[in-house]
Amino acid sequence: MVPGLVPEQSPSDHCYRMDSSPAGTPSPQPSRANGNINLGPSANPNARPTDFDFLKVIGKGSYGKVLLAKHKSDGTFYAVKVLQKKSILKKKENHIMAERSVLLKNVQHPFLVGLRYSFQTPEKLYFVLDYVNGGELFFHLQRERRFLEPRARFYAAEVASAIGYLHSLNVIYRDLKPENILLDCQGHVVLTDFGLCKEGVEPEETTSTFCGTPEYLAPEVLRKEPYDRAVDWWCLGAVLYEMLQGLPPFYSQDMSQMYENILYQPLRIPGGQTVAACDLLQGLLHKDQRQRLGSKSDFLEIKNHVFFSPINWDDLYHKRLTPPFNPNVAGPADLKHFDPEFTQEAVSKSIGCTPDAVASSSGASSAFLGFSYAPEDEAILDY
């Protein structure tokens, strides 16, 4: 896949894509180019590295690693993203708290990865997230080339439900793609990586940051025009098209040509799809965001489209529908859907160490005030 976009500097808003987005993890966004990172009011940490056994590396990014970890007191497995503070400070990153804010809201939705704990040491930040080991949708799509409509419909419906929930919180996701869609052990969708989310966007409001992943950019983003939440429905259309056809709708190995295609080429849907699927793709991939499906009543328009008529949305939300594919994982320790390049790497001993508290006076630590979070009533944080 084409690496993420280089950020375009804007006075009020910056966006960035990590080249690698490990499974089950968010990616940080860049910051204003001045001053240290301040993550809000300081808090006493309610969790620490020594609470966990770090078992395997399951992903790597620009700022650190993602590890499979087991909580010592109750044996619960988590995906823990460990970020090096120095790396973040060096690259002037300060939107970690905004990302954490989005993650904290996700606990309430079945198809969004949830943040369980966050804490810090003088050198590192820790995101403790839901552990998801059914593999990226991208992985399964690469292996099978394309999905039949019932399977694609199931995934698209669960993703649409998650996007609709984010929109209800005035959050635009902005980076929907198969690499950010995970499957859990049963085969349900789990949307991850909230590094490009934009909070606080009311239904009629717009934002204008140039960000995303090239294959899935909406025309209005490419034109550097103000855009609204309909940008996410374009991305849903692109992902659905890719699930059904095996490639994104306007794909070209030549990025300039791909951008030209997105802006000007009419949508071409090869034969073999139902009338309902074609109509939905035409609606979601409408180049005029004002005419795009979802531009008026948001998720309700997608939900009511005839393509989704076989879906009982209440049953879908409560996971009463049987997924069309079972990842067939033996348990939490089954890592067959993770890249061996990661899982064969040795786990650094320093990741599980809790440094002396006196070291917390360092500049790197004070720059991340207010980062630590843990549920107050969690018995497993007994120490």
Tens-digit pLDDT profile for residues 43-56: 325 678 999 999 99
Is residue 99 within 8 Å of residue 28, measured between CB atoms? yes
Active-site pick, 51, 175, 193, 232 = 175
Tokens 């056994």, residue located: 53
Phi, psi of 7 (to 5 degrees): -65, 145
- What is the predicted pLDDT for the residue at 94? 46
> Edge-to-edge strands of the sheet including 52-60?
52-60, 64-71, 77-84, 124-130, 115-120
Question: What digits encode the pLDDT tens for the residues 223-252?
Answer: 999 999 999 999 999 999 999 999 999 999
Return d(Cα 76, Cα 249) in angstroms, integer.
40
Range scoring the smallest mean pLDDT among 96-110, 151-165, 302-316: 96-110
| pLDDT higher than 90, residue 367 | no
Range scoring the smallest mean pLDDT among 40-54, 127-141, 232-246, 327-341: 40-54
- What is the predicted pLDDT for the residue at 209? 83
Range scoring the smallest mean pLDDT among 15-24, 138-147, 285-294, 353-362: 15-24
Question: Is-catalytic flag, 175?
Answer: yes
Give residue 365's pLDDT band: very low, low, confident or very high (50, 70, 90): low
Return d(Cα 371, Cα 283) in angstroms, integer.
41
Q: List, in sequence order, every residue forming a beta bridge with 183; answer none if it has no partner.
A: 189
3-state secondary structure the chain: CCCCCCCCCCCCCCCCCCCCCCCCCCCCCCCCCCCCCCCCCCCCCCCCHHHEEEEEEEEECCCEEEEEEEECCCCCEEEEEEEEHHHHHHCCCCCHHHHHHHHHHHHHCCCECCEEEEEECCCEEEEEEECCCCCEHHHHHHHHCCCCHHHHHHHHHHHHHHHHHHHHCCCECCCCCHHHEEECCCCCEEECCCCCCECCCCCCCCECCCCCCHHHCCHHHHCCCCECCHHHHHHHHHHHHHHHHCCCCCCCCCHHHHHHHHHHCCCCCCCCCCHHHHHHHHHHCCCCCCCCCCCCCCHHHHHCCHHHCCCCHHHHHCCCCCCCCCCCCCCCCCCCCCCHHHHCCCCCHHHHCCCCHHHHHCHHHHCCCCCCECCCCCHHHCC
Average pLDDT over residues 152-166: 97
| pLDDT higher than 90, residue 358 | no
Average pLDDT over residues 155-177: 95
- What is the predicted pLDDT for the residue at 284? 98
Binding site as annotated, residues for ATP: 90
| pLDDT higher than 50, residue 14 | no
In the chain, the percentage of residues whose pLDDT exceeds 70 is 75
- What is the predicted pLDDT for the residue at 97? 59
Which amino acid appears at position 229 of this protein? Answer: R
Q: Which of residues 261 and 212 earns the better pLDDT score?
A: 261
| pLDDT higher than 50, residue 375 | yes
* Strands 77-84 vs 64-71: parallel, antiparallel or unpaired: antiparallel
Average pLDDT over residues 32-46: 36
Give residue 364's pLDDT band: very low, low, confident or very high (50, 70, 90): low
Residue of 312, 293, 313 lying closest to 231 (CA atoms) = 293
- What is the predicted pLDDT for the residue at 370? 59
Is residue 20 within 8 Å of residue 61, measured between CB atoms? yes
- What is the predicted pLDDT for the residue at 207? 85
| pLDDT higher than 50, residue 181 | yes
Domains, the chain, with CATH or none: 49-133+331-381 (3.30.200.20), 137-317 (1.10.510.10)
Best-predicted range by mean pLDDT among 4-18, 188-202, 220-234? 220-234
Return d(Cα 224, Cα 214) in angstroms, integer.
14
Return d(Cα 28, Cα 18) in angstroms, integer.
8
